[in-house]
């Protein structure tokens, strides 16, 4: 499991820098970077707060592939790009967090 920041999409808002509990992303020349990716434990806070889906989580193809998240009010739309070229969208209501 790892995350990757797409520099082309990043608008340098700094949200990932603010939210990361490990202070891992940094801003340089108006773009976010992850200098020590091996320290990331994949909590996904930065994915959820990135306003332009510039951060992706990579997990095994069998359980999702490449995932990004889009916020829509209380809803989080997890978009999984699967190895076969298709997409799967899983919508989660953030108000239900910790419910299960
Ligand atoms: S996934 Fe979590 S630990 Fe990793 S960079 Fe993002 S906020 Fe930090
Ligand atoms: S939250 Fe997204 S757009 Fe903002 S600095 Fe981080 S990667 Fe760039």
| Closest of 82, 21, 37 to residue 68, by C-alpha | 82
What confidence category does residue 100 fall into, taking pLDDT thresholds of 50, 70 and 90?
Answer: low
Instruction: State whether the beta carbon of 56 lies less than 6 angstroms from ligand 2.
Output: no
Question: Which domains does the chain possess?
Answer: 2-96 (3.30.70.20)
Instruction: State whether the beta carbon of 55 lies less than 6 angstroms from ligand 2.
Output: yes
* Model confidence, pTM: 0.89
- Mind listing the pLDDT tens digit for each residue in 36-88? 999 999 999 999 999 999 999 998 777 768 999 999 999 999 999 888 889 99
Phi, psi of 41 (to 5 degrees): -105, 10
Tell me the CA–centroid distance for residue 70 and ligand 2, in Å. Answer: 13
Tell me the CA–centroid distance for residue 57 and ligand 2, in Å. Answer: 14
Nearest-CA residue for atom 2 of ligand 1: 43
């Amino acid at each position: 499991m790892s995350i990757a920041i797409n520099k082309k999409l990043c608008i340098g808002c700094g949200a990932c820098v603010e939210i990361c509990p490990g202070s891992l992303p940094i801003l340089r020349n108006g773009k976010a970077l992850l200098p020590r990716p091996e320290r990331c434990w994949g909590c996904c806070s930065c994915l959820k707060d990135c306003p332009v889906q510039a951060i992706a989580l990579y997990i095994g193809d069998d359980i999702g592939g490449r995932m990004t998240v889009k916020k829509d009010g209380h809803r989080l739309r997890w978009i999984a790009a699967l190895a076969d070229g298709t997409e799967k969208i899983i919508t989660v209501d953030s108000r239900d967090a910790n419910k299960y």
